[in-house]
Amino acid sequence: MAVTVLDDSTFQSELPSAANAVVDFYAGWCGPCIMFKPKFKRISEDYPHVRFFMVDGEKAPVARKTVTIDNLPYFAVYKSGQFVEGFSTSDEPAFRAFIEGNFGATP
């Protein structure tokens, strides 16, 4: 499934329409964020029951305020637009475990 890029003007309208969503909050200056971006896009193909979104936290301060980011890259789980939990990692197996812990493996 394709990754959708959100900003403050689309965050509140797009996110609630997704029953299961993970949002990659990143910053353009963050090296680990840049390195994880292609993995995030590739991993999104393995979980068709989850919508994948990306938000540049520096350019979307309203969206960023929905979470407390302690480190980057930061991934947030939302269910029907409601924040559930967040996780910081640049480790692919840990990220996959985070997704599967919240949404299960591919049905």
Please write the tens of the pLDDT for every residue from 24-45: 999 999 999 999 999 999 999 9
Through-space distance between the first and last CA atoms of the chain, rounded to whole angstroms: 14
Q: How much is the pTM?
A: 0.93
For residues 24 and 75, the answer to whether their CB atoms sit within 8 Å is: yes
d(CA 45, CA 48) in angstroms, rounded, equals 6
Residue in 33, 43, 76, 77 annotated catalytic: 33
Tens digit of pLDDT for each residue in 6-19? 999 999 999 999 99
Residue 30 known to be catalytic: yes
d(CA 5, CA 91) in angstroms, rounded, equals 22
**Which of 75, 12, 9 is CA-nearest to residue 44?**
75
d(CA 94, CA 10) in angstroms, rounded, equals 28
What domains can be seen in the chain, in order of their start residue? 3-103 (3.40.30.10)
Residue in 18, 22, 30, 99 annotated catalytic: 30
